[in-house]
Structure 1
Amino acid sequence: MSKFDRYMLSQLMTLFGFFALILVSVYWINRAVSLFDQLISDGQSAWVFLEFTALTLPNVIRLVLPVAAFVASVYVTNRLSSESELVVMMATGFSPYRLARPVLYFGLAVTLMVAVLAHLLVPASRVRLADRRGEIAENVAARFLTEGTFLHPADGITFYIRQITPRGELQDIFLADARTPGRSTVYTAERALLVKSDTGPKLVMFEGMDQTLAAEGQSLSVTRFADFSYDIGALIGGAAARRPSVEELPTPMLLAATEASAEAAGTTRAAMLLEGHERMARPFLALVSALIGFATLLTGGFSRFGLWRQIGMASVLLVFVQFLANGATSLVTRSPAAWPVVYLPVAAGLAIAALALSFAGRARRVRHGLVAAVAS
């Protein structure tokens, strides 16, 4: 690698790290606010909040890195052009394609980062996040047991707890069960405990009584008990076996999807193929973003007024490539056989960058020809 390549690559990586940090922070804070409201309102600790936000980071970084690569490429190219460094390198005989070599290295490095995230870290984080959500959903105290409040976890059920001690003991329990037509039962107890069992959570009450009112004959029966076990599994629903989502499945399984494997995973073959091929294609959008940013600005040459028009054009071209990516996603969702279309945005982006570099080289030859003609 030549000195110029190392110099430009170091500039690109430095600015890429800076912009990636800024963009990830913005996305992360936006996501953290919604998670904070959701988890804290469910009675979760700050540690759970930090764990959940950390598990969302790989997906946020995967989305942000191509944008950071584009911004870094545009910023570095604009600065090198305004300081005439690119002009000097062109004067020494460097073609636009030769100048684009460090940008190519940079784009491939970012592509590798996004690929690692898409194939390994994001699926693993989604699996862990789903498991943690399931564990919290099974935490009855977090979902339904709130002290000092009358709760209605199911139709015909009213539940009240005066206080929950730090050891998890429930004090002064009131439970009204009116789910059975023509019959209503009220349970009261001085204290209770939640106990897990194979058939679901049980509420074990101590020193209490149950009062059952039968509508027919308006008869009331009262039974006092020292301890009594009440099955509250129906209040929160049984813990059903969770099927992994498409985003959690490994890439080889997605690419080799069949109707049988899709049915076993609880999804469609189209969704599995789309996710698998997007994991293969989307990382290369980082390379496309970097090359489009560099090549489009290079068409402007040197100007003391800056390259604002070229920067705007580069942004429009990047939006166009993203539009193609969204269209390809919609098409493959409807027709799984059209999965090669997922790679079309990458091919189109590389073609746009190549055309821009060719145009920049031709414009340079025209300018040099005019200068030579005037001089002669």
Structure 2
Amino acid sequence: MTRLDRYIFRQLAVALLAVTIGLAALVWLTQSLRFIELVLDRGLSFLVFIELTGLLLPSFFAVILPITTFVVCLFVYVRLDSDRELVVMRAAGLSQWRLARPALALAGGVVVLCYALNLWLVPASQAAFRAWQFEIRNQLAAILLQEGVFSSVGDDLTVYARYRDRDGTLRGILVHDAREAGAPVTILAEAGRITPGPNGPRVTLENGQRQQVERVPPPPGSPPGTAPGSRLTVLSFSENSVDLARASRSEENRYRNAQERTLDELFHPDPAERVPDRDLKRFLAEAHQRLAGPLNALTFGLVALATALTGQFRRHGGGLRLFTGILVVVVLLAVGLTIGNLAARQSRVIPLIWVNALLPGMLAAWVISGLPAWVQGLFTRRPRLPAPDAASAPSP
């Protein structure tokens, strides 16, 4: 790498680092707002908050890096052109690809980094994040209870407390437990307290009623096909306890989504898990998106170079060329999201993931190499010739 290459590459690298960190911090702040309540109102420690939200950063970087690569390459090369530095470099005999070499080196490094994120760091961080969520919902369910709110602990357990005393005692409690299939239980109690239990936190209830709906088989002699009946059982108690932790599910048998799985698990899921066909399509689409996604950094970099190196930005339609480059990347992002959603439902759409990642870069490389004259004329504003003066027109 020559001194000139290092000069351009240094500007690109510094700008990429600053823009990526700034944009990732902004996204992190917006996403972490939903966890602040756990710290302020629910008693979750600040270190756990930092660890929980920090696990989201690898996925942010994997999405942001291709976009910031385009922004940085476009900004730096447009500034070099505005300062006439590119004019001097071209006068020294440097070709378009020689000028593009630092940006291509940067984009190649981003591609390698994105592959490391997509294939290793993002699945590991997502698995750890989901494990934290599972523990908070099941083992730390006590911090999710809020007075005056129906708090869902999982999908089949709901707890309501009218208010909470200063000593932590809950008043006016309702618990709806549907963890036992076919026999939901509703418990009403005057007071209760969150206490530790062998399987996790539990709520100890005082002075209440336990109502359970049980299915009753049809009486003997009923016609065939008679539906079973139901019976309401009411039991009054002075003290009772309900486990808030979902003992029927553990971390070992927790179902993992596509973002948590490694590339090998996406292509070859364990048959013992009995993954539904719908999720198999999602796994296959996720695997191809992980393999094709990092190439967007190189594609977006080539689009930025095609925008910045093939025209001047002070005259001759430079604004139109700049707007076209930005619009192309916005369209590619929108098309990529659409194709990803379609591929998760229809596997035959998966080849379009690779087309969207590779074809725009090839077209941008063709533009950098040199467009035909008729194509260049579409982006060049031709000067208008002045109208002939009637006084100076030759006499017949």
* Deviation digits for residues 253-285 of structure 1 (CA, Å, limit 9, x no counterpart): 213458x47734896221001111100111111
Rounded Cα–Cα distance in structure 2 between residues aligned with 1:323 and 1:156: 41
Shift of 1:69: 0.7
Whether the aligned pair in 1 keeps the contact of 2:267 and 2:287 (CA below 8 Å) is yes
- TM-score normalized by the length of structure 2: 0.72
User: Structure 1: how far apart are the matches of 2:7 and 2:278?
Assistant: 49
Same amino acid, percent of matched pairs: 24
SS in 2 for 1:240: coil
- Structure 1 alignment gaps of length 5 or more: 165-169, 215-220, 367-376
8 Å CA contact 1:12–1:106 kept in 2: the answer is yes
Deviation at 1:82, TM superposition (A): 1.5
| Secondary structure at 1:334 match in 2 | coil
Deviation string 1:29-50 (CA, Å, 9 cap, x unpaired) is 2212233246544443333322
How far off is 1:348 after superposition? 1.5
Contact 1:291–1:350 (Cα < 8 Å) also in 2: yes
Matches of residues 1-376 of structure 1 in structure 2 within 5 Å? Answer: 1-37=1-37, 40-138=40-138, 139-144=140-145, 162-164=165-167, 194-198=195-199, 201-203=201-203, 210=207, 230-233=240-243, 237-238=246-247, 240-241=249-250, 242-256=254-268, 260=271, 263-264=274-275, 268-301=279-312, 303=314, 307-359=318-370
Amino acid at match of 1:117: L
Q: Is the 8 A contact 1:96 1:361 kept in 2?
A: no
* CA distance 1:171–1:33, shift in 2 (3 Å): closer
Aligned to 2:344, the other structure's residue is in SS state: helix
Q: RMSD of aligned C-alpha atoms?
A: 3.9
Q: State how far apart, in whole Å, the 2-side matches of 1:187 and 1:252 are.
A: 53
Q: CA deviation at 1:75?
A: 1.0
Measure the CA separation in 1 of the matches of 2:352 and 2:345: 12
Q: 1:193 and 1:8, CA in 2 relative to 1: closer, same or farther beyond 3 A?
A: closer
Pair 330,140 (structure 1): closer, same or farther in 2 beyond 3 Å: closer
Secondary structure class of the residue paired with 2:256 = coil
SS at structure 2 position matched to 1:15: helix
Q: Which moved more, 1:302-311 or 1:49-58?
A: 302-311
Aligned equivalents of 1:178 and 1:274: distance in 2?
Answer: 38
How far the C-alpha of 1:184 sits from its partner, in A, is 8.4
